[in-house]
Amino acid sequence: QAVLLAELHSRRPLWPAGEPLTESLERAVGPIREVARGVARVGPGAFGRYVISMSESVSDVLEPLILAREVGFRVLPVPLFETLDDLRHGPEVVRALLALPEYRRVLGADVQEIMLGYSDSNKDAGFLAANWALHEAQRAIARVCREAGVPWRFFHGRGTSIGRG
């Protein structure tokens, strides 16, 4: 996390100008570059939020900010808490994230969106325990956001074709 925060403060690019990207870096940066091109062509309505699957730590949420900065595009990260452990630790992650001035500058006056996953937590704990964990995670994350003075919105990501409608 310290390395990522230092990079957010740095104006130094991650790779030299004009140098080709490695294959792994292209896989990470390429989609963000394409979204930036789409927004430039169509307008800001072409892109919403950046969902970060399997968010287990603050670092998971900071990484896309650095990649987006490299292509000159602002993303608003949405941590996705989807396993039982992620749901239990989600409030701590959100609290730590919202305590970072670097992150708050990126968020600005926007709503902090949090995605809650159902299928992985159901696999981990079963239907009843997973739904209780989802309920408790929502209550705790809402309290964290309220205490930080940040508006929030939950996005419920239900798996399976039935859940997707």
Greatest distance between any 2 Cα atoms in the chain: 54
Q: What is the pLDDT of residue 162?
A: 46
93 in Cβ contact with 55 (< 8 Å): yes
- Average pLDDT of the residues in 93-105: 95
- Average pLDDT of the residues in 90-104: 95
User: What's the predicted TM-score (pTM) here?
Assistant: 0.84
Q: What is the strand order of the sheet 112-117 is part of? A: 50-52, 77-81, 112-117, 152-157
Residue 104: its H or E element: helix 101-107
* pLDDT greater than 80 at residue 18: no
State what percent of residues in the chain have pLDDT above 90.
34
Amino acid letter for position 60: D
Domain range list for the chain: 2-163
In the structure, what pLDDT confidence band is assigned to residue 165 with cuts at 50, 70 and 90? very low
Quote the radius of gyration of the chain (alpha carbons, Å): 17
